[in-house]
Every structure is written in C-alpha cells, then in structure tokens.
C-alpha cells in the first residue's frame, strides 16, 4: 500500500513537472526573443553612432583638404 502511494506521488510530481515545462517553455522562448531583439536594437544604435562619428571625421578631413588646396603657395 505504501509503495502504491509513493508511485502515485511520483506520478503526480511528474505530471506537475510536465505541465510546468509546457507553461514555462513558451515564456522562456518569448523572453529570449525579446532580449535578443533588444540587444540587436542597441547594437544597431551603437553602429549607427559609430558610423556617424566616422562620417563627421571624413567631412572634416575633406574640408581641411579643400582648405589646404585653396591656400596660395608662396613660391
């Protein structure tokens, strides 16, 4: 009789675990997808900022180069 109760308890625990996994798996997957989207968005913003800084530097260098070309030579 006692062995039967232990088996029933184990079966109930197993059923409970299966239901928990079924409920939690979609939540964990959704959380992982949301975290990945957030990370990718932040990476995009960081890349855009980085590219923008380089574009600003290139523009400044071009202006400097143009200014140097306009300086009359003293020779």
Let me know the angle formed at the C-alpha of 37 by 35 and 42, rounded to the nearest 5 degrees: 95
**pLDDT the model gives residue 65:** 83
In a domain, residue 73? The reply is no
Residue showing tokens 């913003």: 45
In a domain, residue 38? The reply is yes
Per-residue pLDDT tens digits for 32-72: 999 999 999 999 999 999 999 899 899 888 888 888 787 66
Q: Domain tally for the chain?
A: 1
Structure tokens at 36: 């990945």
Q: How far is CA 21 from the centre of its chain?
A: 25
Range of the domain at 2: 1-60
In a domain, residue 46? The reply is yes
Q: 2 exposed, middle or buried (CB, 10 Å; 0-12, 13-18, 19+)?
A: exposed
**pLDDT the model gives residue 49:** 93
74 phi and psi angles, rounded to 5 deg: -90, 5
**pLDDT the model gives residue 1:** 62
**pLDDT the model gives residue 47:** 95
**pLDDT the model gives residue 73:** 67
* Mean pLDDT (whole number) for 6-29: 96
């Amino acid at each position: 009789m006692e062995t039967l109760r232990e088996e029933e308890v184990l079966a109930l625990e197993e059923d409970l675990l299966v239901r928990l996994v079924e409920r939690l798996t979609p939540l964990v997957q959704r959380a992982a997808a949301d975290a990945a989207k957030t990370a990718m968005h932040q990476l995009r913003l960081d890349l855009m900022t980085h590219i923008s800084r380089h574009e600003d530097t290139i523009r400044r260098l071009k202006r400097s180069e143009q200014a140097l070309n306009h300086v009359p030579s003293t020779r």
